Chain A
Amino acid sequence: MSEAHSGRIHIAHQFESSDQQHEAGTLGIWIFLATEVMFFGGLFTGYALDRWLYYPAFAAASRVLDIRLGAINTAVLLTSSFTMALSVRAAQTAKRGALALLLILTMLLGAVFLGIKGFEYYQKFVEHVVPSLDFAPQGEVLARLAPAGLGHAQLFFCFYFFMTGLHALHMIVGLGLLFVLLLRALRSEFTPAYYAPVEVTGLYWHFVDIIWIFLFPLLYLIGGRF
Protein backbone atom coordinates (compact mmCIF):
# COMPACT_ATOMS: atom_id res chain seq x y z
CA MET A 1 0.00 0.00 0.00
CA SER A 2 1.98 2.96 -1.25
CA GLU A 3 -0.96 5.21 -0.50
CA ALA A 4 -0.56 4.50 3.17
CA HIS A 5 2.93 5.98 3.13
CA SER A 6 1.83 9.14 1.39
CA GLY A 7 -0.86 9.74 4.01
CA ARG A 8 -3.62 9.43 1.44
CA ILE A 9 -5.25 6.28 2.73
CA HIS A 10 -8.68 5.71 1.22
CA ILE A 11 -8.59 8.75 -1.04
CA ALA A 12 -9.39 7.65 -4.59
CA HIS A 13 -7.05 9.11 -7.19
CA GLN A 14 -9.68 11.38 -8.78
CA PHE A 15 -10.14 13.34 -5.56
CA GLU A 16 -7.92 16.11 -4.30
CA SER A 17 -8.73 15.75 -0.66
CA SER A 18 -10.58 13.69 1.89
CA ASP A 19 -13.13 16.51 2.19
CA GLN A 20 -13.84 16.53 -1.52
CA GLN A 21 -14.25 12.77 -1.59
CA HIS A 22 -16.58 12.88 1.40
CA GLU A 23 -18.76 15.58 -0.19
CA ALA A 24 -18.92 13.71 -3.49
CA GLY A 25 -20.00 10.53 -1.73
CA THR A 26 -22.63 12.36 0.30
CA LEU A 27 -24.00 14.10 -2.80
CA GLY A 28 -24.15 10.74 -4.57
CA ILE A 29 -26.26 9.11 -1.88
CA TRP A 30 -28.54 12.16 -1.71
CA ILE A 31 -29.17 11.93 -5.46
CA PHE A 32 -29.93 8.23 -5.01
CA LEU A 33 -32.32 9.08 -2.19
CA ALA A 34 -34.02 11.66 -4.44
CA THR A 35 -34.72 8.86 -6.94
CA GLU A 36 -36.02 6.76 -4.06
CA VAL A 37 -38.41 9.58 -3.17
CA MET A 38 -39.76 9.28 -6.72
CA PHE A 39 -39.90 5.49 -6.39
CA PHE A 40 -41.98 5.59 -3.22
CA GLY A 41 -43.68 8.80 -4.39
CA GLY A 42 -45.66 6.99 -7.08
CA LEU A 43 -47.04 4.63 -4.43
CA PHE A 44 -47.83 7.45 -2.02
CA THR A 45 -49.61 9.35 -4.80
CA GLY A 46 -51.64 6.31 -5.81
CA TYR A 47 -52.49 5.65 -2.20
CA ALA A 48 -53.54 9.27 -1.59
CA LEU A 49 -55.73 9.24 -4.69
CA ASP A 50 -57.56 6.00 -3.85
CA ARG A 51 -57.87 7.02 -0.23
CA TRP A 52 -59.56 10.20 -1.42
CA LEU A 53 -61.85 8.33 -3.85
CA TYR A 54 -62.80 5.44 -1.52
CA TYR A 55 -62.34 6.98 1.90
CA PRO A 56 -65.00 4.96 3.84
CA ALA A 57 -63.54 1.62 2.66
CA PHE A 58 -59.99 2.75 3.41
CA ALA A 59 -60.94 3.98 6.90
CA ALA A 60 -62.71 0.69 7.65
CA ALA A 61 -59.79 -1.41 6.38
CA SER A 62 -57.31 0.72 8.31
CA ARG A 63 -59.07 -0.25 11.54
CA VAL A 64 -58.20 -3.90 10.89
CA LEU A 65 -54.52 -3.03 11.31
CA ASP A 66 -53.02 -3.30 14.78
CA ILE A 67 -52.21 0.28 15.78
CA ARG A 68 -50.21 -0.82 18.86
CA LEU A 69 -47.81 -2.93 16.80
CA GLY A 70 -47.51 -0.08 14.32
CA ALA A 71 -46.74 2.41 17.08
CA ILE A 72 -44.19 0.06 18.69
CA ASN A 73 -42.52 -0.40 15.32
CA THR A 74 -42.37 3.37 14.87
CA ALA A 75 -40.58 3.70 18.21
CA VAL A 76 -38.24 0.80 17.37
CA LEU A 77 -37.30 2.30 14.02
CA LEU A 78 -36.82 5.81 15.43
CA THR A 79 -34.56 4.32 18.10
CA SER A 80 -32.56 2.50 15.43
CA SER A 81 -32.13 5.81 13.62
CA PHE A 82 -30.88 7.29 16.87
CA THR A 83 -28.29 4.50 17.34
CA MET A 84 -27.32 4.88 13.66
CA ALA A 85 -26.73 8.61 14.14
CA LEU A 86 -24.61 7.76 17.19
CA SER A 87 -22.68 5.19 15.10
CA VAL A 88 -21.65 7.93 12.70
CA ARG A 89 -20.59 10.04 15.66
CA ALA A 90 -18.61 7.12 17.11
CA ALA A 91 -16.82 6.74 13.76
CA GLN A 92 -16.09 10.48 13.68
CA THR A 93 -14.63 10.40 17.17
CA ALA A 94 -12.65 7.16 16.65
CA LYS A 95 -14.53 5.20 19.31
CA ARG A 96 -14.16 1.79 17.72
CA GLY A 97 -15.81 -0.28 20.42
CA ALA A 98 -18.80 2.02 20.58
CA LEU A 99 -19.07 1.99 16.78
CA ALA A 100 -19.28 -1.81 16.63
CA LEU A 101 -21.71 -1.92 19.55
CA LEU A 102 -23.98 0.76 18.07
CA LEU A 103 -23.99 -0.92 14.66
CA ILE A 104 -25.00 -4.22 16.28
CA LEU A 105 -27.72 -2.39 18.23
CA THR A 106 -29.01 -0.74 15.05
CA MET A 107 -29.15 -4.13 13.31
CA LEU A 108 -30.92 -5.69 16.28
CA LEU A 109 -33.56 -2.96 16.28
CA GLY A 110 -33.96 -3.35 12.53
CA ALA A 111 -34.45 -7.09 13.01
CA VAL A 112 -37.02 -6.48 15.77
CA PHE A 113 -38.89 -4.17 13.40
CA LEU A 114 -38.93 -6.85 10.69
CA GLY A 115 -40.01 -9.47 13.23
CA ILE A 116 -42.99 -7.39 14.36
CA LYS A 117 -43.80 -6.63 10.72
CA GLY A 118 -43.68 -10.35 9.94
CA PHE A 119 -46.04 -11.06 12.85
CA GLU A 120 -48.44 -8.43 11.48
CA TYR A 121 -48.33 -10.10 8.06
CA TYR A 122 -49.06 -13.43 9.76
CA GLN A 123 -52.10 -11.85 11.46
CA LYS A 124 -53.36 -10.63 8.11
CA PHE A 125 -53.21 -14.20 6.79
CA VAL A 126 -55.09 -15.42 9.87
CA GLU A 127 -57.77 -12.77 9.23
CA HIS A 128 -57.87 -13.70 5.51
CA VAL A 129 -57.29 -10.14 4.34
CA VAL A 130 -54.42 -10.82 1.94
CA PRO A 131 -55.41 -9.46 -1.47
CA SER A 132 -55.72 -12.00 -4.29
CA LEU A 133 -53.99 -14.79 -2.31
CA ASP A 134 -56.53 -15.18 0.47
CA PHE A 135 -59.12 -12.45 0.63
CA ALA A 136 -62.14 -13.91 2.44
CA PRO A 137 -62.57 -12.08 5.76
CA GLN A 138 -65.00 -13.58 8.24
CA GLY A 139 -66.83 -12.64 11.41
CA GLU A 140 -65.85 -9.37 13.03
CA VAL A 141 -63.43 -8.36 10.30
CA LEU A 142 -66.05 -8.97 7.62
CA ALA A 143 -68.63 -6.96 9.57
CA ARG A 144 -66.17 -4.09 9.70
CA LEU A 145 -65.19 -4.18 6.04
CA ALA A 146 -68.46 -5.11 4.33
CA PRO A 147 -70.48 -1.84 4.70
CA ALA A 148 -68.02 0.18 2.60
CA GLY A 149 -67.38 -2.56 0.05
CA LEU A 150 -64.95 -5.47 0.10
CA GLY A 151 -63.47 -4.55 -3.27
CA HIS A 152 -62.11 -1.22 -2.11
CA ALA A 153 -61.00 -2.75 1.19
CA GLN A 154 -58.96 -5.19 -0.86
CA LEU A 155 -57.46 -2.21 -2.67
CA PHE A 156 -56.37 -0.80 0.69
CA PHE A 157 -54.64 -4.06 1.58
CA CYS A 158 -52.94 -4.10 -1.82
CA PHE A 159 -51.40 -0.73 -0.92
CA TYR A 160 -50.68 -1.91 2.63
CA PHE A 161 -48.78 -5.00 1.56
CA PHE A 162 -46.98 -3.40 -1.34
CA MET A 163 -45.87 -0.27 0.51
CA THR A 164 -44.84 -1.97 3.75
CA GLY A 165 -43.33 -4.84 1.73
CA LEU A 166 -41.20 -2.48 -0.31
CA HIS A 167 -40.23 -0.71 2.88
CA ALA A 168 -39.32 -4.05 4.51
CA LEU A 169 -37.22 -4.91 1.45
CA HIS A 170 -35.32 -1.65 1.95
CA MET A 171 -34.81 -2.62 5.60
CA ILE A 172 -33.39 -6.00 4.59
CA VAL A 173 -30.98 -4.30 2.17
CA GLY A 174 -30.09 -1.88 4.99
CA LEU A 175 -29.36 -4.77 7.35
CA GLY A 176 -27.02 -6.27 4.73
CA LEU A 177 -25.21 -2.92 4.38
CA LEU A 178 -24.94 -2.62 8.18
CA PHE A 179 -23.50 -6.11 8.40
CA VAL A 180 -20.77 -5.21 5.91
CA LEU A 181 -20.13 -2.00 7.89
CA LEU A 182 -19.82 -4.03 11.08
CA LEU A 183 -17.24 -6.35 9.52
CA ARG A 184 -15.24 -3.36 8.30
CA ALA A 185 -15.59 -1.64 11.67
CA LEU A 186 -14.27 -4.75 13.42
CA ARG A 187 -11.25 -4.63 11.10
CA SER A 188 -10.77 -1.01 12.26
CA GLU A 189 -11.13 0.37 8.76
CA PHE A 190 -12.84 3.57 9.82
CA THR A 191 -11.06 6.63 11.16
CA PRO A 192 -12.11 10.21 11.81
CA ALA A 193 -10.58 11.00 8.39
CA TYR A 194 -12.42 8.17 6.64
CA TYR A 195 -15.88 7.21 7.75
CA ALA A 196 -17.85 7.95 4.57
CA PRO A 197 -19.34 4.42 4.32
CA VAL A 198 -20.81 4.79 7.83
CA GLU A 199 -22.19 8.22 6.97
CA VAL A 200 -23.64 7.09 3.62
CA THR A 201 -25.23 3.92 5.03
CA GLY A 202 -26.62 6.07 7.85
CA LEU A 203 -28.25 8.42 5.34
CA TYR A 204 -29.90 5.45 3.64
CA TRP A 205 -31.08 4.04 6.98
CA HIS A 206 -32.56 7.39 8.05
CA PHE A 207 -34.32 7.67 4.69
CA VAL A 208 -35.97 4.28 5.20
CA ASP A 209 -36.99 5.55 8.65
CA ILE A 210 -38.61 8.64 7.09
CA ILE A 211 -40.62 6.43 4.71
CA TRP A 212 -41.99 4.59 7.74
CA ILE A 213 -42.69 7.89 9.55
CA PHE A 214 -45.20 8.59 6.74
CA LEU A 215 -46.44 5.04 6.22
CA PHE A 216 -47.51 4.77 9.85
CA PRO A 217 -50.01 7.68 9.96
CA LEU A 218 -51.21 7.06 6.41
CA LEU A 219 -51.92 3.35 6.82
CA TYR A 220 -52.72 3.02 10.54
CA LEU A 221 -54.15 6.36 11.61
CA ILE A 222 -56.88 6.98 9.05
CA GLY A 223 -60.06 8.41 10.65
CA GLY A 224 -62.51 6.53 12.79
CA ARG A 225 -59.71 5.22 14.96
CA PHE A 226 -60.96 6.62 18.23
Chain B
Amino acid sequence: MAAQPIVPFRTYALVFVALLTTGAAFVNLGPLNTVVALGIAFLKMMLVLLFFMHLLHSNKLTHVTAIAAAFWLLLLIGLVFADYTSRGWIPDPAPWSSSAPPTHP
Protein backbone atom coordinates (compact mmCIF):
# COMPACT_ATOMS: atom_id res chain seq x y z
CA MET B 1 0.00 0.00 0.00
CA ALA B 2 1.37 3.38 -0.93
CA ALA B 3 1.95 5.88 1.86
CA GLN B 4 0.57 8.73 -0.16
CA PRO B 5 -3.07 9.27 -0.97
CA ILE B 6 -3.85 9.46 -4.67
CA VAL B 7 -4.68 13.03 -5.59
CA PRO B 8 -7.74 13.27 -7.85
CA PHE B 9 -7.18 14.30 -11.47
CA ARG B 10 -9.46 17.30 -10.93
CA THR B 11 -7.05 18.79 -8.38
CA TYR B 12 -4.08 18.53 -10.75
CA ALA B 13 -6.09 20.06 -13.59
CA LEU B 14 -7.28 22.97 -11.44
CA VAL B 15 -3.74 23.65 -10.21
CA PHE B 16 -2.50 23.58 -13.80
CA VAL B 17 -5.13 26.10 -14.93
CA ALA B 18 -4.26 28.30 -11.95
CA LEU B 19 -0.57 28.14 -12.90
CA LEU B 20 -1.23 29.20 -16.48
CA THR B 21 -3.60 32.06 -15.62
CA THR B 22 -1.15 33.61 -13.17
CA GLY B 23 1.49 33.31 -15.88
CA ALA B 24 -0.64 35.45 -18.19
CA ALA B 25 -0.70 38.43 -15.80
CA PHE B 26 1.38 40.86 -17.84
CA VAL B 27 0.05 44.16 -16.56
CA ASN B 28 2.11 47.30 -16.18
CA LEU B 29 2.20 48.27 -12.51
CA GLY B 30 5.08 50.70 -12.67
CA PRO B 31 7.44 50.38 -9.71
CA LEU B 32 5.46 47.42 -8.42
CA ASN B 33 6.28 45.31 -11.50
CA THR B 34 9.12 43.39 -9.89
CA VAL B 35 7.26 42.85 -6.64
CA VAL B 36 4.17 41.57 -8.47
CA ALA B 37 6.23 39.38 -10.83
CA LEU B 38 8.05 37.79 -7.91
CA GLY B 39 4.79 37.48 -5.98
CA ILE B 40 3.24 35.56 -8.86
CA ALA B 41 6.37 33.40 -9.11
CA PHE B 42 6.07 32.70 -5.38
CA LEU B 43 2.41 31.70 -5.75
CA LYS B 44 3.27 29.41 -8.66
CA MET B 45 6.08 27.86 -6.61
CA MET B 46 3.70 27.19 -3.73
CA LEU B 47 1.17 25.54 -6.05
CA VAL B 48 3.87 23.31 -7.55
CA LEU B 49 5.30 22.50 -4.11
CA LEU B 50 1.99 21.76 -2.39
CA PHE B 51 0.20 19.88 -5.16
CA PHE B 52 2.60 18.60 -7.83
CA MET B 53 5.33 17.82 -5.31
CA HIS B 54 2.77 16.47 -2.81
CA LEU B 55 4.05 18.59 0.07
CA LEU B 56 0.44 18.84 1.22
CA HIS B 57 0.43 15.10 1.92
CA SER B 58 4.05 14.67 3.00
CA ASN B 59 5.27 13.82 6.47
CA LYS B 60 6.72 16.35 8.92
CA LEU B 61 10.33 15.42 8.19
CA THR B 62 9.87 16.37 4.53
CA HIS B 63 8.27 19.66 5.60
CA VAL B 64 11.26 20.40 7.84
CA THR B 65 13.64 19.69 4.94
CA ALA B 66 11.75 22.00 2.58
CA ILE B 67 11.51 24.77 5.19
CA ALA B 68 15.21 24.37 6.03
CA ALA B 69 16.11 24.92 2.36
CA ALA B 70 14.03 28.13 2.28
CA PHE B 71 15.49 29.26 5.62
CA TRP B 72 19.13 28.89 4.51
CA LEU B 73 18.38 30.60 1.22
CA LEU B 74 16.88 33.58 3.09
CA LEU B 75 19.91 33.61 5.37
CA LEU B 76 22.22 33.68 2.34
CA ILE B 77 20.37 36.50 0.59
CA GLY B 78 19.62 38.37 3.81
CA LEU B 79 23.17 38.49 5.13
CA VAL B 80 24.70 39.39 1.76
CA PHE B 81 22.30 42.32 1.44
CA ALA B 82 22.75 43.29 5.09
CA ASP B 83 26.44 43.71 4.26
CA TYR B 84 26.12 45.65 1.01
CA THR B 85 23.21 47.91 2.00
CA SER B 86 24.85 49.00 5.28
CA ARG B 87 28.33 49.79 3.97
CA GLY B 88 27.71 53.55 3.70
CA TRP B 89 26.09 53.91 7.10
CA ILE B 90 29.22 54.54 9.13
CA PRO B 91 31.67 57.06 7.68
CA ASP B 92 35.33 56.14 7.48
CA PRO B 93 37.10 57.33 10.66
CA ALA B 94 39.67 60.08 10.33
CA PRO B 95 43.25 58.85 10.10
CA TRP B 96 45.11 58.50 13.44
CA SER B 97 47.73 61.05 12.43
CA SER B 98 45.14 63.76 11.89
CA SER B 99 45.87 66.92 13.84
CA ALA B 100 42.27 68.07 13.71
CA PRO B 101 40.62 68.23 17.13
CA PRO B 102 38.01 65.58 17.86
CA THR B 103 34.57 66.71 16.78
CA HIS B 104 32.67 65.02 19.59
CA PRO B 105 32.49 66.59 23.04
Contacts and interface: CB of A to CB of B under 8 A. Distances in A.
Interface of A: 18-19, 22-23, 26-27, 30-31, 33-34, 37-38, 41-42, 44-45, 48-49, 52-53, 71, 74-75, 78-79, 81-82, 84-86, 89, 92-93, 192-193, 195, 199, 202-203, 206-207, 209-210, 213-214, 216-218, 221-223, 225-226
Nearest to A84: B52
Interface in B18-47: 19-20, 23, 26, 28, 31, 33-34, 37-38, 40-41, 44-45
Contacts of B2: 18-19, 22, 92, 192-193, 195
A204 B39 CA distance: 23
A89 B9 contact: yes
Given A49-B81, A213-B45, A81 B52 contact: yes
A141 to B, nearest CB: 22
Q: Per DSSP, are chain B's interface residues mostly helix, strand or loop, or mixed?
A: helix
B72 A48 contact: no
Given A45-B76, A206-B52, A222-B34, A92 B6 contact: yes
A174 to B, nearest CB: 14
Given A19-B1, A41-B72, 7 more contacts: A19-B3, A26-B58, A27-B62, A41-B76, A74-B23, A214-B45, A221-B33
A23 B59 contact: yes
A26 B45 CA distance: 19
User: Which A-B residue pairs are the 8 nearest by beta carbons?
Assistant: A34-B69, A217-B37, A226-B28, A37-B69, A82-B16, A19-B3, A30-B65, A85-B52
A54 to B, nearest CB: 12
Q: Per DSSP, are chain A's interface residues mostly helix, strand or loop, or mixed?
A: helix
B22 to A, nearest CB: 10
17 contacts: A19-B3, A23-B59, A26-B62, A27-B61, A37-B69, A41-B76, A49-B81, A75-B20, A81-B52, A86-B12, A92-B4, A193-B1, A213-B44, A214-B38, A214-B41, A217-B38, A217-B41
B9 A38 contact: no
Contacts of A74: 23
Nearest to B3: A19
B84 interface: yes
Nearest to A205: B52
B94 interface: no
B69 A206 contact: no
A37 B49 contact: no
A23 B60 CA distance: 11
Interface in B48-67: 48-49, 51-54, 58-59, 61-62, 65-66
B73 interface: yes
Given A71-B23, A85-B12, A93-B6, A206 B28 contact: no
Contacts of A225: 28, 33
Contacts of B40: 217
